[in-house]
């Protein structure tokens, strides 16, 4: 099986399994966005089959790699991957209920760790801001607990729209500045959005924006299995965050729509599926995955399961086990109530009427010493927001005492970044922003 998994031709067939499952679900629902799953099928297949560390039998394994589908409209890409790799919550029946009320396969992905959905995505750009938070969380936890317990990567699928949103630029700047080398973006560079060709609305060199922000950037053919694999290897080897610009054809395989605006979510008909089956020589009927391919997909989880088992053994004998498990379970440490009571007594005795953000900073400062998992990020950490206090900074080179990251004037991104830290179970993010009324 391992040898099979290494053959590019086998991975191409596995990519087609994503395509047909997605089209079958979209036809069954009557609507959906086929552009992303059809255009990013090869990218996703290479990632899952050869690089991703994951264990569908244990979806919340703390040291798993994180995957964020920032272009959340392409949700069938994620559901197809979760079903094919064996996540129990994304059964075939769940896929058949795609876009129905209450389905785990909602129109856009909704946070559900047990189903393998790391975060809610749909508003373009927010997913990559979550991914930035997850990468910060990983670096923070790795510095607290060491690489034996924390050593994973964060991967995000990213559309043109994510990179047109202002929040996207904040993400690019901050991730490059912080040197988050375990963060990798796959940009679905299909030159099309829901509104037509990207050159209608953007004329800058997007890859260059990443380069000048200190990212490792590669530009490849997003349907070439070998090129995708080589790019992922290079991304892992480079100490900077990586952006792989994957030139793709939106809705690849639906001849009537591919490469065009209608590829994004134009209505599909059974005749489109028939034509795609003829094109790719797909033998199976609706919602049917040929047994050999299904087995290959499930086998992609084997390395992750083995890595998880080894990790569990390391955790079992680690002197940091209790503290790690406490942090993961979000149980507050001893002493936090006393710290709050002492603060209240001090505040009452002083008799000063504080402005509210000052009080917030005082309370945070009272907790910092007893709650090591508090991570503060703030648009302005000096006097006006009052949250810097005794924390030292999280920087590109110093993650050791790293509980405060400066995010000066990146307010749009702040809440989503904090959400990513929370979703990654790193601890308690504490954010403080200037909001627009």
- Contact of 387 with 428, CB cutoff 8 Å: no
The neighbouring-strand residues paired with 221 are: 247
Report, in Å, the least distance between residue 48 CB and Mg ion: 22
Which residues 198-257 are close enough to bind ligand TPP by CB under 6 A? 250
Strand partners, 245: 187, 219
Cβ-based nearer residue to ligand TPP, 78 or 391? 78
The two tokens of residue 85 are: 């790799």
- Residue sitting closest to Mg ion (CB): 160
- Nearest approach, Cβ of 46 to ligand TPP (angstroms)? 19
CA 109, 114, 115, 118 torsion: positive or negative? positive
Smallest gap from residue 346 Cβ to ligand TPP (A) = 44
> Given the complex with ligand TPP, which of 60 and 201 has the nearer CB atom?
201
| Contacting ligand TPP within 264-293 (CB under 6 A) | 264
Q: Which of residues 55-74 bind ligand TPP (CB under 6 A)?
A: 71, 73-74
User: Which residues in the 136-195 window bind ligand TPP by CB under 6 A?
Assistant: 159-161, 165, 188, 190, 192-194
Beta strands across the sheet bearing 428-432: 404-406, 374-378, 428-432
Nearest CA-CA partner of 157 in 61, 228, 256, 258 = 228
Cβ nearer to ligand TPP, comparing 184 with 308: 184
Give me the least distance between CB of 373 and Mg ion, in Å please. 38
229 contact, one of Mg ion, ligand TPP, none, CB 5-8 Å limit per kind? none
User: Of Mg ion, ligand TPP, none, which one does residue 333 interact with (CB within 5 to 8 Å by kind)?
Assistant: none
| Angle between helix 8-29 and helix 75-85 axes, rounded to 10 deg | 120
Q: Which helix (H) or strand (E) holds 176?
A: helix 166-178
Nearest distance, CB of residue 76 and ligand TPP, angstroms: 12
Please identify, using beta-carbon distances, which residue of 168 and 304 lies nearer to ligand TPP: 168
DSSP symbols for 123-151: STTHHHHHHHHHHHHHHHHHHHH-TTT--
Q: Between residues 50 and 247, which has the closer beta carbon with respect to Mg ion? A: 247
Residues at the contact surface with Mg ion, assessed by CB under 5 A: 159-160, 190, 192-193
225 CB-near residues (< 8 Å, 6+ apart) = 8, 11, 12, 42, 45, 46
CB of residue 201 vs ligand TPP: minimum separation in angstroms? Answer: 10
- Figure out which of the listed residues 14, 19, 35, 112 binds ligand TPP, where binding follows CB under 6 A: 35
For helices 356-368 and 336-350, give the axis angle rounded to 10 degrees.
Answer: 140
Cβ-based nearer residue to ligand TPP, 260 or 320: 260
Comparing CB distances to ligand TPP, the nearer of 123 and 179 is 123
Listed in sequence order, the residues at least 6 apart from 208 whose beta carbon sits closer than 8 Å to its beta carbon are none
124 contacts which partner out of Mg ion, ligand TPP, none, CB within 5 to 8 A by kind?
A: ligand TPP
Q: What are phi and psi of 188, to 5 degrees?
A: -80, 80
Q: CA–CA separation, 421 vs 134, rounded Å?
A: 5
- Please give the backbone phi and psi of residue 318, each rounded to the nearest 5 degrees, phi first: -80, 135
Interface ranges with ligand TPP (CB under 6 A): 35-36, 71, 73-74, 122-124, 159-161, 165, 188, 190, 192-194, 250, 264
């Amino acid at each position: 099986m391992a040898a099979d998994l290494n053959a590019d031709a086998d991975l191409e067939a596995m990519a087609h399994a994503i395509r047909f499952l997605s089209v079958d679900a979209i036809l069954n629902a009557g609507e959906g966005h086929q552009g992303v799953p059809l255009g990013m099928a090869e990218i996703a297949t290479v990632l899952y089959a050869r690089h991703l560390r994951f264990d569908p039998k244990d979806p919340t394994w703390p040291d798993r790699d994180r995957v964020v589908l920032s272009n959340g409209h392409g949700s069938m890409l994620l559901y197809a991957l979760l079903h094919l790799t064996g996540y129990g919550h994304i059964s075939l029946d769940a896929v058949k209920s795609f876009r129905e009320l209450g389905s785990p396969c909602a129109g856009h992905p909704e946070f559900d760790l047990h189903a393998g959905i790391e975060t809610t995505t749909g508003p373009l750009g927010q997913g990559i801001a979550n991914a930035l938070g997850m990468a910060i969380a990983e670096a923070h936890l790795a510095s607290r607990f060491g690489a034996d317990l924390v050593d994973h990567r964060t991967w995000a699928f990213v559309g043109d729209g994510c990179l047109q949103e202002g929040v996207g630029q904040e993400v690019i700047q901050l991730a490059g500045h912080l040197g988050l080398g375990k963060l990798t973006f796959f940009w679905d560079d299909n030159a099309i959005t829901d509104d037509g060709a990207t050159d209608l609305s953007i004329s800058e060199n997007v890859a260059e924006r990443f380069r000048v922000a200190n990212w490792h950037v590669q530009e490849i053919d997003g349907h070439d299995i070998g090129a995708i694999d080589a790019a992922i290897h290079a991304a892992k080897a480079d100490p900077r965050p990586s952006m792989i610009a994957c030139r793709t054809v939106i809705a690849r395989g639906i001849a009537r729509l591919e490469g065009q605006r209608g590829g994004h979510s134009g209505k599909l008909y059974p005749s489109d599926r028939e034509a795609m089956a003829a094109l790719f020589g797909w033998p199976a009927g609706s919602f049917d995955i040929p047994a050999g391919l299904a087995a290959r997909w499930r086998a992609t989880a084997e390395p992750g399961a083995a890595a998880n088992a080894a990790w569990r053994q390391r955790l079992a004998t680690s002197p940091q086990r209790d503290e790690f498990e406490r942090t993961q379970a979000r149980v507050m440490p001893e002493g936090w109530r006393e710290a709050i009571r002492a603060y209240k007594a001090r505040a009452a005795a002083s008799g000063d009427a504080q402005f509210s953000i000052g009080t917030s900073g005082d309370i945070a400062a009272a907790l910092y010493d007893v709650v090591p998992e508090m991570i503060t990020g703030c648009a302005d950490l000096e006097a006006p927001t009052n949250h810097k206090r005794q924390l030292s900074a999280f920087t590109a080179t110093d993650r050791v005492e790293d509980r405060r990251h400066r995010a000066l004037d990146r307010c749009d991104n702040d809440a989503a970044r904090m959400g990513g830290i929370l979703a990654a179970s790193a601890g308690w993010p504490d954010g403080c922003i200037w909001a627009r009324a």
